[in-house]
């Protein structure tokens, strides 16, 4: 049985697409069974539909954080989801929601965490003048972009980089990293134990 996985998005869904393509391989240990977007117009919804994956919009508009999270939680439970992947999901969850899913919810961030958390990541990287950037997949904890790291990949920052050129280079790395990290979690090769990730071959 493949691990039932949901992907939470807010936008174009290129990481979602990478996960869908990886999960198309018969030996991939996870199956994408649900896509949830908080934005009705998210491009990723069409990608889900094109792949025949149930896609749901749960709008956050006018809802207190806890009520919105309860609606997401209900949709995940209804679909018997076991692992949640956040991929460009632009809402911060309540602590209760993250605790409920802790160890079973992962996120991708376009920097080498713990550096450059939050938004406008590539702007931050270019302003800092670092020579290397990259991407991180981590278990989610209540603090933003702070969870224990499952996998990282790095890319060079070139002297003439702009936000567009750097983000494109990082995104290419993200598309390879996220399926790799999901595989590790789905196979039980990366497990959250307290504040740490335990790895086994």
Active site members: 109
Point out the residue whose Cβ comes nearest to ligand GRF.
88
Distance between CA atoms of residues 105 and 96, nearest Å: 13
* Cβ at position 38, least distance to ligand GRF in Å: 12
Q: 80 vs 154, which CB is nearer to ligand GRF?
A: 154
Kindly list the distances between the CA atom of residue 156 and the CA atoms of 104, 120, 168, in Å, as whole numbers in the listed order.
Answer: 31, 18, 12
Kindly list the distances between the CA atom of residue 128 and the CA atoms of 77, 104, 122, 131, 158, in Å, as whole numbers in the listed order.
Answer: 42, 33, 10, 9, 13
> Where on the chain is the footprint of ligand GRF (CB under 6 A)?
9, 11-16, 44, 87-88, 108-110, 171, 174
Q: Please count the other Cβ atoms lying within 10 Å of the Cβ belonging to residue 151.
A: 22
Distance between CA atoms of residues 201 and 178, nearest Å: 18
Size of the chain, expressed as the number of residues it contains: 201
Q: 9 vs 48, which CB is nearer to ligand GRF?
A: 9
Q: 67 vs 146, which CB is nearer to ligand GRF?
A: 146
* Cβ at position 138, least distance to ligand GRF in Å: 11
* Cβ at position 29, least distance to ligand GRF in Å: 21
């Amino acid at each position: 049985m493949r691990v039932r996985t949901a992907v939470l998005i807010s936008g174009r869904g290129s990481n979602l697409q990478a996960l869908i393509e990886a999960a198309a391989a018969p030996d991939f240990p996870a199956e994408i069974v649900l896509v949830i977007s908080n934005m009705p117009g998210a491009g990723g919804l069409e990608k889900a539909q094109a792949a025949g994956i149930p896609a749901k919009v749960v709008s956050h508009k006018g809802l207190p954080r806890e009520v919105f999270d309860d609606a997401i939680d209900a949709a995940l439970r209804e679909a018997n989801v076991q692992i949640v992947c956040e991929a460009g999901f632009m809402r911060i969850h309540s602590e209760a929601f993250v605790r409920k899913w802790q160890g079973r919810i992962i996120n991708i961030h376009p920097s080498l965490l713990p550096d450059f958390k939050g938004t406008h990541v590539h702007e931050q990287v270019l302003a800092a003048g670092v020579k290397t950037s990259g991407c991180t997949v981590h278990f989610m904890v209540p603090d933003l972009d702070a969870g224990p790291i499952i996998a990282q990949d790095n890319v060079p920052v070139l002297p003439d980089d702009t936000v567009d050129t750097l983000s494109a280079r990082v995104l290419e790395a993200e598309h390879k990293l996220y399926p790799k990290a999901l595989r590790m979690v789905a196979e039980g090769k990366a497990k959250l134990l307290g504040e740490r990730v335990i790895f086994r071959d």
